Amino acid sequence: MKSDQAIKLLNDEGLRLDGRRLDELRPLKIEVGVLKNADGSAYIEHGKNKIIVAVYGPREVHPKHLTLPDRAIVRVRYHMAPFSVPERKSPAPSRREIELSKVIREALEPAILVEKFPRTAIDVFIEVLQADGGTRCASITAAAVALADAGIPMKDLVAAVAVGKINGKIALDLNHLEDQYGEGDMPVAMMPGLKTITLLQADGIFSKEEFKQALDLAISGIQVIYRKQREALKKKYEKMIRTVTGGGS
């Protein structure tokens, strides 16, 4: 992120470049069970982000020395496809991708009942097909749904969104331009049903009042995303029930 006061991110009516209000999420679409070969999967479109997640496990750990006797290990691989950004990126894992894999794992792990599956691994593969700011948060949201789709016991879903500061105003769900040219960025993930935050990062300078306003705004956005997650899971299983009972597609 770099601050650039020459970039006007709000118009005279207080609307953002994409026409949203400061407290408005980008369009959100979640689909469940999109990959037949995975134990669980999900696809998310959050703004212009397009991300697919596959979950495998609990399964045998390779290499064996990584096994833990009292719990499952959770492994996350976050990867951006070479065509996901305007300038083609190297297909090799970058330092940022390795860091975000760790960040996403740490956001998801508190929700997973890992003690139920000792000596196993739960693998989460995240592929960013198109990026437009907030990919870590969209990845967390989709990965939680994919874990639920895999039937892995969880305390709650994890939903995530980034808030930030643009032209001195606190804004919900930053897109790429706002992330790049705003004055602050704060990704937040939480288990909404338990009111437990699992990720909180901040880049930039927030006053105490701005921090509280940003966190409150993030939580309100997360509640909306949480409803979308549950609706997507419900839709998949309603379709399965119709198929089994002969009710059509």
Output the domain CATH number for residue 169. Answer: 3.30.230.70
Among candidate residues 167, 210, 151, the one with its CA nearest the CA of residue 186: 210
The per-residue pLDDT for 248 is: 56
CA distance 123 to 160: 20
Evaluate the CA torsion angle 237, 243, 244, 245 in order and state its sign. positive
- In the chain, how many domains are there? 1
Condensed to tens digits (0 to 9), the pLDDT of residues 28-84 reads 999 999 999 999 999 999 999 999 999 999 999 999 999 999 999 999 999 999 888
In a domain, 191, yes or no: yes
Quick count: other Cβ atoms within 10 Å of Cβ 28?
20
Least confident of 73-87, 88-102, 152-166, 179-193: 88-102
Condensed to tens digits (0 to 9), the pLDDT of residues 177-211 reads 999 999 999 999 999 999 999 999 999 999 999 99
* Neighbour-count burial for 145-157, b at 16+ CB within 10 Å, e otherwise: bbbbbbebebebb
CA distance 207 to 63: 47
In a domain, 16, yes or no: no
In a domain, 238, yes or no: yes
Among candidate residues 57, 137, 81, 151, the one with its CA nearest the CA of residue 104: 137
In a domain, 95, yes or no: yes
Task: Check residue 156 and report its DSSP letter.
Answer: S
SS3 127: strand
In a domain, 249, yes or no: no
In a domain, 14, yes or no: no
CA distance 171 to 185: 9
What is the span of the domain harbouring residue 239?
28-244
In a domain, 55, yes or no: yes
Q: What is the pTM of this model?
A: 0.92
In a domain, 17, yes or no: no
The per-residue pLDDT for 3 is: 45
